[in-house]
Amino acid sequence: MHILEVIPITKSVDTDTLSYFSAKDVDLGSLVTVPLRKKEVMALVVSKTAVLDLKSQVRGASYQLRNILRVHDGQVLSPAFLRTAGYLARYYAAAPGRVISQITPAFVIDKLDNWDKVPVNQAGTGYQELILGRDYQDRVTYYKTLLREHLIEKSSLHILCPTIKEVEVLSAELSKNNRNVFVLHSGLTKTALKKIYQALHGLGTLSLIISTPQFIDTYQVNKKTVVIEADDSRYYESVSEPYIDGRILARIYAQKLGITLISAASVTRIETYARYQDGEADLAGPLHKRIFKPGEVVLVTENRQVGKKTDAERIKVLEKKSKTFTTISTEARDVITTSLKNKESVFLFVHRKSLAPSIVCEDCGNIARSPSSGLPYALYTRTNKNTRVRERLFICSLTGEVVRAFDHCQFCKGWNLTQLGIGTDRVAEEAERIFDIEPLIIDGEHTKTAKALKQALKKLEAGGPLIVIGTEKALPYLKDVGQSIIVSMDSYFTRMSYQSNEEALSLIKKVSEASERPTILQSRNVTTSLLPIIQTGMYQPYAEAELNARNSYGFPPKITLIVIQRVVPREKTRIESDTLTNLFRHYNPEVLTAPAAKRTMVRVAVILRRDQHWPKGKGDADLVSLLRSLGRGTTIKINPSPIID
């Protein structure tokens, strides 16, 4: 008779493990079915102890242990994957069961007993991390060479991509003239995924898998290398709790399995560069000397004169201000006109969707706000389904509240409302007026559904002359665009994020890679003093300066940021702040507040700074236990960007 400690694989349980009786001797890592409340759930065995050794504890327990219901043959998840889940549970201060549910494909979790007699990945010969800093097409060439090397060595390769579209694009490149190439992502049906899994389990020879991070533990014969493609993409971060970064999942998994990890990107992340500096990673080839070639990005800025002005200069400024604001500069208009004459496609990148991110009253200076959340309204235009008439609407981005756009100020009742900021609709209106061509918009509003996106991509594939206006959502679908223009990205630098420069640089590079000619960057804030790499293209001076700045201000990668957030009634803000300050008093907490979804509520955030190798030592173990005890009303994020969203 044994007492088993098991991890229930369900998101409804916050405890680390549960205890059950078992009459059988069960191997560690085995899959079992256990009773939980009034349900039966799957669980993984992580420890076992003979009842005789715990006789006194069992007799003195205030609750009665229940028996396991079934023991399944074999293992579903590899031992390396289970150790990875255990590490991530500590790193993110989350229950192991919730972590496993987050990083395992849903179709496997839903029917775990279907996979209890399948092979699992076996340990490799040793871990090493390599860094690949090259342009996208150069990386594709490298992967083809790497695949041939694995064929010779009779080993398997697994490439991770951040999004489904990037999986599809890369698989189209690598499937040519190669056999046993498998694609896995959540966009496939359960039936299709099951067939692929069965094919891999019965293959008996090497393979190439291209997938999203959830499928990292998919079985392959002699899995030798895992590649993190587009390592600089923020889409590796999950959007639901626990907020796990797929890049950390991949690195820890490769360590536990004892195989090679390659972090590949057009712009090497500062975190990745720091590991190279610290000797934790090596180079797969020479580190890119230049991110941009000379003239690859043309910077168009509004130069502001500093100091006293003459009367003539003041008059010039006033005359300029009196003119209608334009989102498309003279330089941009010239290249767009030329491209359209040549029947080419032109891409205009805009950071935000909508007609205008904010509406401001010129009389009193107040911004139009949602009464329920207190946050600024964004102005949109939509076609009424019944009348087929275009309507202007105010939408709160946080709550989704929609109201018909009003013409007067909520506060002073004045009629002098002005659009503030640049959105996709605003640029589209101006582009259509100037060039007499209806633009194609790809963003979270106009291509919200799969059907709308499919229709947009059909127009895009038809070719020019065409003006495409889009947010980051459009980037994976662009290929061989004649001309690209970044209309504005100043809002990147208004967020509370230590990664603003890095994210902006990565974006500029992605837009540039999709363009056949130099990319035009319009900005009032991105200057040579802020991002000299745009003009020089030199990566290492930028990386050193960025790393030094983060070290000076106490930001990752040399520090681990832990951000704890709670939403409380506004009148309890001070009480909650004092409570959290006292709770984390041994860890030097910084307490901040931010708006919540409802105007009557406030988000209280606590920021803790720990060592870069978090979690380590008893102090961190105690903090992990404290964080896990906070309950589901509390959000915990590790190294988030922005710090408070």
For residue 48, pLDDT beyond 50: yes
For residue 311, pLDDT beyond 70: no
- For 1-44, write each residue's pLDDT tens digit: 788 888 888 776 767 788 888 888 887 778 888 898 888 888 88
pTM for the structure as a whole: 0.86
Which residue's structure tokens are 């006109």? 337
Q: Which is it for the CA torsion 151, 155, 160, 165, positive or negative?
A: positive
Which residue's structure tokens are 């098991």? 6
**d(Cα 190, Cα 106) in Å, to the nearest integer?**
9
Which residue's structure tokens are 């010969």? 125
- The pLDDT assigned to 53 comes to 61
Phi and psi for 463 in degrees, rounded to 5?
90, 180
**d(Cα 337, Cα 329) in Å, to the nearest integer?**
12
- For 114-160, write each residue's pLDDT tens digit: 666 678 888 888 999 999 999 999 999 999 999 999 999 999 999 99
Q: Which of 58, 6, 57, 3 shows the shortest CA–CA distance to 36?
A: 6
For residue 306, pLDDT beyond 50: no
Identify the three-state secondary structure at position 623. Answer: helix
Higher-pLDDT residue of 458 and 357 is: 458
Supply the CATH classification number for the domain 77-289+541-553: 3.40.50.300
* High-pLDDT (> 70) share of the chain, %: 90
Q: Which two tokens stand for residue 336?
A: 């767009």
CB atoms within 10 A of CB 295: 10
- The pLDDT assigned to 579 comes to 94
CATH architecture of 297-305+322-357+421-537: 3-Layer(aba) Sandwich (3.40)
CB-based contact 131:284 (threshold 8 Å): yes
Which residue's structure tokens are 């102005």? 379
Task: Tell me what the mean pLDDT of segment 169-187 comes to.
Answer: 92
Q: Which residues pair with 261 in a beta bridge?
A: 129, 226
- The pLDDT assigned to 56 comes to 57
Identify the three-state secondary structure at position 376. Answer: strand
- The pLDDT assigned to 285 comes to 86
- For 351-391, write each residue's pLDDT tens digit: 888 777 778 888 887 888 887 767 788 888 777 777 877 78
Where in the sequence of the chain do the CATH 3.40.50.300 domains occur?
77-289+541-553, 297-305+322-357+421-537
Where in the sequence of the chain do the CATH 3.30.70 domains occur?
559-638
Q: Which of 46-55, 402-411, 454-463 has the lowest mean pLDDT?
A: 46-55
CATH of the structural domain 559-638, one choice from 1.10.3470, 2.40.128, 3.30.70, 3.90.1170? 3.30.70
Task: Tell me what the mean pLDDT of segment 412-438 comes to.
Answer: 86
Q: Which residues pair with 485 in a beta bridge?
A: 348, 520
* High-pLDDT (> 90) share of the chain, %: 44
- Cβ burial, residue 367 (10 Å; 0-12/13-18/19+): middle
- The pLDDT assigned to 113 comes to 66
CB-based contact 606:564 (threshold 8 Å): yes
Identify the three-state secondary structure at position 475. Answer: helix
For residue 630, pLDDT beyond 50: yes
**d(Cα 606, Cα 580) in Å, to the nearest integer?**
7
Give me Rg for the CA atoms of the chain. 27
CB-based contact 227:157 (threshold 8 Å): yes
Identify the three-state secondary structure at position 580. Answer: helix
Q: Which two tokens stand for residue 545?
A: 């300066």
